[in-house]
Structure 1
C-alpha cells in the first residue's frame, strides 16, 4: 500500500503541512513498522515529519501502532511499587553520561528501574556501554528484567529487544543523518504498566506537544529538557522538572529551573568514555565524589511522585 496520501498531508513544509488525526497516524505507523513501505517512502516520511513536527494526536497514533510490537513486560509487584522508565537514546558527546548514575541511585532507594535505548551510537557514549562497564550488561527478556529488580539493580534493555521494528525505524538515521519520529516515540513508550516515565526533549518547541500528549494520555510523567538528550538532570544547572499525575499538571510538585549565572560548577572529569564514566559513577555511589545536586533533586522528586501515584484499575 502506498503512503503517498499521508505524505501529501504531512509533506508540504512547516507552514503548509497539516497534522494527521490519531487513526490516520496509527495506520501510517503500522504500515511502516510492518515493513510495507518502500525505502523511498520511508525517507519521505522521516524528512516530512522532521520538518513539520509531531502533533499530540500523531504521537498518540504512532504509539498505538508501536505497542502492537512491544515485548510484554509485567509491572513490578505491589511491594516494589511503580517502576521508573528512563529512555536513553542520545548518549554523551561533551559531558559524562550520568543516566546510569540516576538509575542506580533510584534502585538503591528501592525503585524498580528500566532504562531502554540503543546499544551503540557512533561518536557518542551510550548508557548501554556504561552499564556494561559497571558489570550490568543489557538484559534480553522479561525474566532478566525481573531478576535485576529482585537484585536491587536497574535493568538496561536495548530497543532491539523491546521493539525490533521501532529499532529499525531509528536506524535509518544512519542513512539520512537526521533523527525521526521514531526517536520521539521511543522516549514516550509506556514499556512497563503503571510506570512513572521520565520524558526529555532537546528543543523547547517539543515541550508544547509533549505536554499535551502527556495530558491526553493521562500519563504519570516528568517532562524535562534533557542533558545532551538524556533523561538525567544537567550536573551543572538544575533544569525544570514538570510533573504530570494521571495526565494532570501538578505545578505544586514541579522543580523550578536554576536561573542566572552559574556560581558553583561541579568538578567533572574531561574523559567521558564508558570506562571513565563508570569509574566516576562508582566513586559517587561510594561517597568518594559528591553526586551533583541537580541529580539528587531529580531522585528526590521522582521518589515524591511515586509516593503519590495511584494504581491503574
Structure 2
C-alpha cells in the first residue's frame, strides 16, 4: 500500500500554569520540574530574547531546560507567534491568493542539493504562488539563500519589494536576517551551546509573509509531530515530512513519514515514492557541494535537462513539488478526494509539465530579472 495510518501523535500535555512573577530562574526551574510553559511564559521569554534583555547564560539555561523537558506544540506556537510579532511583516496583495512555502529545518547531515528550493520554482511555475523563507547555510555548504544568490536571484529585498516580486514573478524570497533582525540577539547563546534547540524549528514556522500552506521538512523525528501540531494550532494548512533515511524532505530512497495537518487534526502516514512510480537511486545521488555547484544542478534540473546524474534529483524535486501543490490546493479550497498519496500521484504530472514545458526555466529567469530590478541592480 502506498500510504497507511500509523498511531496518532500524542497531543496531551500537562495543563500549563502561568509562572508568576516572570523571571528566567522561575521559568527555567519550572521546565526542570517538567512543567510546560503557558503562552504568557513563552511570550515573556521570547520578548526578552528578541529585545536583547536576556543574557547568553540566561537564554542558554532556558533553551537547555526546554529541550530536556521536551518542547510542546503549544510552546512552539507561542514562540512563533512572538517571533512574528517582532518580525518585519510582508503584506501580500490579495490578488495573489493563497501562497505556499517549501522549507526544512536542515540538520539531516545529508549534504544534499537544495531540493526544496528547486521544488519552490517548479511549484510556482505550476501556478501556485510561492513565498519562500530561508537563510544561508548553517550546517551544510549551501543554504537556500546561498544557492539563490548563486543563481542570480536578489535575496536582499525588503518587505514591499518581496510583495511586488511575488506579484510580478509568482515567487519571492524572504531572507531571514532582513525580516527577523532581532534574532541576532540569540546568536551568541546558540553558537556557544552548539546543540539543536527550539530555534532550529522556529525559523521554518516563522515566514514573515504568513503563507496559507507549507511543506516543512524536519530531520528531528521527535520534533516533527510537534511542528505539525504547532502549524495546525496557527491555522496553516501544512504537512511535515521526514524520510526514514533521515532526510528533511520527501525521500526517494526510503519511505517518508508524513504528519498531515491539512485537516482538523494531525494524521501520521508513511508514503513510499516507489508507489508513486519513482525509482530508488544511489545513496549519494542527491549529494551536493558548494553554492556554485548546487546552483548549476538547480539550473539544469529546472531547465529540463536529463541525465543519469540529474534524474534522481529531478525525481526528488518532482516528488516534493507535488506535495506542495497538494497542500496549496487545500489552502485554496479544492476538495480533498483520496488519500494524500493518491493526491500526490495526481499532482506529479503538473510538476513534471512545469519543467518539461519550459515554464519552470522561464519562471526562474523572470525571478532573477524582477528581483534584480527591484534591488536596483
CA positional deviation for 1:62? 1.1
Aligned to 2:280: 264
With normalisation by structure 2, the TM-score equals 0.70
Q: What is the alpha-carbon distance in structure 2 between the residues aligned to residue 229 and residue 186 of structure 1? A: 19
Q: What is the alpha-carbon distance in structure 2 between the residues aligned to residue 226 and residue 148 of structure 1? A: 32
Taking the TM superposition and a 5 Å limit, the aligned residue runs for 1:1-313 are: 2-10=23-31, 12=32, 16-78=33-95, 80-90=96-106, 94-121=111-138, 123-152=140-169, 154-169=171-186, 172-225=189-242, 232-237=249-254, 239-245=256-262, 247-249=264-266, 256-258=271-273, 264-265=280-281, 268=285, 271-289=288-306, 290=311, 291-310=313-332
The change in CA–CA distance for 1:297 and 1:87 in structure 2 (over 3 A counts) is closer
Residue 35 of structure 1 aligns to a residue whose secondary structure is coil
CA positional deviation for 1:134? 0.9
CA positional deviation for 1:9? 0.9
The change in CA–CA distance for 1:226 and 1:177 in structure 2 (over 3 A counts) is farther
Whether the 8 Å contact between 2:252 and 2:280 is mirrored in structure 1 is no
The change in CA–CA distance for 1:183 and 1:169 in structure 2 (over 3 A counts) is farther
Aligned to 2:5: none
Q: RMSD in angstroms over aligned alpha carbons?
A: 3.1
Provide structure 2 residue ranges, at least 5 long, that are not aligned to the other structure. 1-21, 334-377
With normalisation by structure 1, the TM-score equals 0.83
Q: What is the alpha-carbon distance in structure 2 between the residues aligned to residue 158 and residue 86 of structure 1? A: 14
Whether the 8 Å contact between 1:238 and 1:294 is mirrored in structure 2 is no
Worse-matched range after superposition: 299-308 or 132-141 = 299-308
The change in CA–CA distance for 1:133 and 1:194 in structure 2 (over 3 A counts) is closer
CA positional deviation for 1:130? 0.6
Q: What is the alpha-carbon distance in structure 1 between the residues aligned to residue 88 and residue 300 of structure 2? A: 35
The change in CA–CA distance for 1:97 and 1:304 in structure 2 (over 3 A counts) is closer
Bigger share in helix: 2
Residue 7 of structure 1 aligns to a residue whose secondary structure is helix
Whether the 8 Å contact between 2:105 and 2:219 is mirrored in structure 1 is no
Provide structure 1 residue ranges, at least 5 long, that are not aligned to the other structure. none
**Which is higher, the Rg of structure 1 or of structure 2?**
2
Q: What is the alpha-carbon distance in structure 2 between the residues aligned to residue 21 and residue 162 of structure 1? A: 26
Residue 140 of structure 1 aligns to a residue whose secondary structure is coil
CA positional deviation for 1:75? 2.6
Whether the 8 Å contact between 2:214 and 2:327 is mirrored in structure 1 is no
Whether the 8 Å contact between 2:243 and 2:257 is mirrored in structure 1 is no
